[in-house]
Amino acid sequence: MDMLTQRLLDIFDGHHRRATAIMTAQRALLAPGSAPDPAAQARHRWELLRVLVEFQIFKHRDIFDPVIRQGDARMAARARVLKAECAELGAEVRAFVAGWSDGSVDRDWDRFRTATLALIAKVERGLAGQRQVLATMVAPPARSPVANGPIR
């Protein structure tokens, strides 16, 4: 693995760890029988949004866009799909945070709890396996030992 690929994967892993830590803390606050803590949930919602936006910017700027511009047709098409899925999930998270930032958490804790757990699960599904796919996108093409050219 070359240094650029390793650097990009390290950055990806850092973003992923931060998002996972926030979602784990949110999930603990929402455990059955736990006392509602709207203030802590607000902090976690906004922190998760910030981390996911930074994560999205990194993936779009440093992975998807370069692959779309410079990758082979198959990989560029895959990058466009992943970028669109990432943007859609990001928009959903932003709408979720905006929708629950109106004070309604205090009035409807059970619905908030259910919606938050569903969103966390959706974000986790969206990130699951992404590292492996992105690793293939950022890795330089393998060289053919016979022709000393890229394997396609």
pLDDT at residue 133, as a whole number: 86
Residue 19 lies in a domain: yes
Taken as a whole, the chain contains a residue count of 152
pLDDT-above-70 percentage for the chain: 91
pLDDT tens per residue, range 2-29: 898 899 999 999 999 999 999 999 999 9
Q: How confident is the model at residue 121 (pLDDT cuts 50, 70, 90)?
A: very high
Q: Please, which residues have CB within 8 angstroms of residue 136's CB and are 6 or more apart in sequence?
A: 75
Residue 148 lies in a domain: no
Residue 149 lies in a domain: no
Residue 30 lies in a domain: yes
Residue 146 lies in a domain: no
Which residue range is the domain that position 119 belongs to?
3-138
The number of folded domains in the chain is: 1
Residue 145 lies in a domain: no
Chain centroid to CA 110: how far? Answer: 26
Per-residue pLDDT for 80 more than 90?
A: yes
pLDDT at residue 106, as a whole number: 86
Q: What is the mean pLDDT of the chain?
A: 90
Residue 150 phi/psi, 5-degree rounding, is: -65, 145
pLDDT tens per residue, range 56-79: 999 999 999 999 999 889 999 999
Helix/strand/coil percentages in the chain, nearest 5: 80, 0, 20
Per-residue burial over 35-60, b if 16 or more Cβ lie within 10 Å, else e, is eeebeebeebbebbbebbeebbebbb
Q: How many CB atoms lie within 10 A of CB 18?
A: 17
Residue 147 lies in a domain: no
pTM of the model: 0.86
Residue 63 lies in a domain: yes
Per-residue pLDDT for 148 more than 60?
A: no
